[in-house]
């Protein structure tokens, strides 16, 4: 390693630490590669010690400048997911709200990618749920349509009109003038111009009263009242461009809270926490954040100093061809209320994390586990009369579902054999994780009894992991837990709050497996479903369809009639399968 160090140039670029098996464990960027990598050998902080204890090799890429190095570093981290790098796991593009002004009656819609045309976009928003919430508010206040249905096919308004969520332009073309006024008001609302909007509604209300349009004036009055109430509810209302606020606090972990300001109000938040050996610095977090942005945001404010602010601003400009304002607002009086709210949220997150850590420690003692179960995998099998056999593997981290680590496993090999299926599912998942460099779970929870437990244990032993992964199974209804630590088995005590985590993992793996199996058979043509039944080949299939015409025909006949086409065992299997099957 030290010989390799001598070869490193004093130029900007990206360096890569690799373990003995060639697996990438850390990726970093530097203005001066030789100087930066040398620091790992000269400093004794915990993270550097851990990296060097596993590293066997160093590779590097040269770049023209530090900005290029930052962007290359992020793309490599995203591709290889190294063990010691911060992972900002969010591959989805940010969603938008848009008004389609090309329509005679412009509607309001959800969109992930901007398209050309006469459309007015608002956002990007941090999540689909925040977009749907905004659309729901616009529906409520301004009665804009959210569907693209062909009006010529509509004879009566839908339910949204009945519940006062849509003005029903599809059947009431005479409201066009008022509808277009509502579109303009919705635009002001989405831009956060609430005071301007309130003034505009007051003027329209006065005009309607003068023209003796009392019904219209009453509707405008109700909208004005609702908007004022909405504005009063907003904890923070700041007249400024869309901004991401990033707040950091260090306790036993590193906690990061991101507040998203869109249309002059906070619309969403994201909570992140990192183990100390996975969090290099707030500086490094900001580099990853800028490189991972999916779309433009005019400003990014923090509660900490940013030494390489110019590099970050340059990287943003390279990506989006626009400028961004990045600054520390922790001492700015203008943002005092916002900083106080962020502090309260951070303290709440920290408190919840501490509670969860204590709960997991208690679960470890209760189940006599080797390690605290910070990462738990749940496995279950689902099939339909021995067909469409699939497995699910869900993941819980720190007591919460981590859906980016969910996996679906198709198991033709394990047809009608739950024990074999569990064995294959556990083996396939852990082998796949090893290839991808994903760390082992602390605990595996199997949906089933002692037989399923032994099948999973067989897979773990073959992979030589029995000393590194705890394993339990839990049987439904009685909620009996089996493990090597309980030869006599135990029944879960639900008076203990932490015990419910095990059933949550089991129930989620069951739901996910059933969802996958249903998805598979929905794709099949109903008649071809017969070919999935063990014992039915093309010849038998053709005889059945020729004799009974369809699956429904087969379902309606007696077992004796089926036995004339095939043998008794297969006929019984067909009957069971079709009785269980739900289209």
Q: Contact 125/142 with Cβ under 8 angstroms? A: no
The pLDDT value given to residue 528: 60
Dump strand ranges (E) for 406-537: 407-410, 443-447, 470-475, 480-483, 486-491
Domain-by-domain residue ranges, the chain?
2-80, 96-192, 243-348, 375-521, 524-580
Record the tokens describing residue 259, joined without a space: 């507040």
Record the tokens describing residue 467, joined without a space: 């000393």
The pLDDT value given to residue 374: 92
Mapping DSSP onto H, E and C, the string for 169-199 reads CCCCHHHHHHHHHHHHHHHHHHCCCHHHHHH
Burial (0-12, 13-18, 19+ Cβ within 10 Å), 46: exposed
Closest CA to 95 of 69, 65, 129: 129
Helix (H) / strand (E) element for 457: namely helix 450-462
Q: Which residue ranges in the chain fall short of pLDDT 70?
A: 43-44, 89-93, 230-237, 384-388, 412-416, 520-532, 534, 580-583
| DSSP helix/strand/coil, 270 | strand
Q: Parallel, antiparallel, or unpaired for β 13-19 and 55-62?
A: antiparallel
Pick the CATH number of 2-80 from 3.40.640.10, 3.20.10.10, 3.30.300.30, 3.40.1440.10: 3.40.1440.10
Record the tokens describing residue 285, joined without a space: 């977090």
Query: Computed from CA positions of residues 272, 276, 282, 287, in that sequence, does the dihedral angle turn out positive or negative?
Result: negative
What is the phi/psi pair of residue 411, to 5°? -130, 70
CATH number 3.40.50.300 is the correct assignment for the domain at 375-521: no
Q: What is the pLDDT of residues 513-572, one digit of tens each?
A: 888 877 766 555 455 666 667 677 778 877 887 788 777 778 778 888 888 888 888 888
Burial (0-12, 13-18, 19+ Cβ within 10 Å), 34: middle
Same fold, 2-80 and 375-521: no
CA distance 343 to 293: 24
DSSP string of 380-433, one letter each residue: EEEEETTEEEEEEEEEEETTEE-GGG-EEEE-GGGTT-HHHHHHHHHHHHHHHH
- Count of other CB atoms within 10 angstroms of residue 365: 10
The pLDDT value given to residue 384: 65
End-to-end CA distance of the chain: 61
The pLDDT value given to residue 237: 62
The pLDDT value given to residue 453: 94
Q: Parallel, antiparallel, or unpaired for β 24-30 and 13-19?
A: antiparallel
The pLDDT value given to residue 581: 59
The pLDDT value given to residue 583: 43
Closest CA to 96 of 295, 286, 241: 295
Helix axes of 282-292 and 309-320: crossing angle, nearest 10 degrees: 10
CATH of domain 524-580: 1.10.150.20
């Amino acid at each position: 390693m030290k010989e390799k160090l001598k070869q490193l140039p004093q130029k900007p670029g990206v360096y890569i630490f690799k373990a003995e098996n060639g697996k990438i464990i850390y990726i970093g960027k530097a203005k001066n590669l030789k100087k930066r990598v040398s620091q790992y050998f000269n400093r004794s902080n915990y993270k550097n010690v851990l990296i060097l204890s596993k590293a066997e090799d160093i590779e590097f890429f040269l770049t023209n400048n530090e900005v290029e190095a930052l962007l290359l570093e992020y793309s490599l981290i995203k591709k290889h997911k190294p063990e010691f790098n911060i992972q900002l796991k969010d591959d989805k593009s940010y969603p938008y709200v848009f008004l389609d002004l090309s329509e005679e009656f412009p509607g309001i819609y959800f969109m992930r990618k901007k398209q050309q045309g006469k459309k007015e976009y608002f956002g990007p928003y941090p999540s689909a749920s925040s977009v749907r919430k905004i659309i729901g508010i616009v529906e409520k206040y301004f009665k804009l349509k959210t569907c693209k249905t062909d009006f010529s096919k509509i004879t009566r308004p839908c339910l949204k009109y009945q519940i006062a969520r849509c003005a029903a332009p599809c059947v009431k073309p005479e409201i066009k003038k008022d509808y277009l006024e509502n579109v303009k008001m919705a635009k002001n609302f989405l831009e956060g111009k609430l005071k301007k909007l309130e003034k505009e509604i007051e003027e329209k209300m006065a005009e309607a009263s003068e023209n003796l349009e009392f019904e219209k004036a009453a509707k405008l009055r109700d909208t004005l009242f609702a908007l004022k109430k909405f504005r009063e509810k907003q904890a923070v209302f700041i007249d400024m461009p869309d901004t991401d606020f990033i707040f950091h606090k260090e306790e036993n972990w590193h906690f990061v809270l991101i507040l998203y300001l869109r249309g002059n109000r906070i619309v969403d938040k994201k909570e992140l926490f990192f183990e100390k050996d996975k969090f290099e610095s707030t500086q490094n977090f900001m580099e990853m954040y800028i490189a991972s942005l999916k779309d433009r945001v005019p400003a990014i404010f923090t509660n900490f100093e940013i030494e390489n602010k110019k590099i970050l601003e340059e990287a943003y400009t390279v990506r989006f061809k626009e400028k961004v304002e990045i600054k520390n607002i922790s001492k700015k009086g203008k943002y005092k209320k916002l900083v106080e709210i962020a502090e309260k949220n951070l303290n709440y997150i920290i408190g919840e994390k501490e509670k969860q850590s204590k709960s997991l420690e208690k679960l470890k003692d209760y189940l006599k586990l080797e390690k605290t179960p910070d990462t738990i995998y749940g496995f279950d099998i689902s099939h339909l009369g021995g067909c469409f056999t699939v497995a699910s593997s869900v993941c819980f981290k720190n007591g919460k579902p981590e859906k980016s680590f969910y996996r679906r496993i198709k198991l033709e090999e394990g047809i009608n054999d739950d024990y074999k299926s569990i064995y294959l599912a556990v083996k396939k998942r852990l082998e796949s994780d090893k290839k991808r460099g994903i760390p082992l779970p602390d605990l595996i929870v199997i949906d089933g009894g002692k037989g399923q437990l032994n099948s999973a244990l067989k897979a773990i032993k073959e992979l030589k992991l029995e000393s590194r992964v705890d394993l339990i199974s839990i049987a439904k209804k009685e909620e009996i837990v089996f493990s090597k630590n309980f030869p006599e088995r135990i029944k879960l005590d639900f008076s203990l709050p932490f015990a419910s985590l095990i059933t949550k993992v089991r129930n989620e793996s069951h739901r996910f497996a059933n969802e996958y199996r249903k998805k598979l058979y929905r794709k099949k043509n109903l008649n071809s479903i017969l070919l999935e039944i063990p014992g039915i080949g093309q010849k038998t299939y053709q005889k059945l369809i020729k004799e009974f015409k369809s699956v429904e025909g087969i379902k309606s006949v007696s077992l004796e009639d089926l036995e004339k086409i095939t043998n008794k065992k297969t006929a019984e299997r067909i009957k069971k399968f079709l009785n269980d099957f739900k289209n």
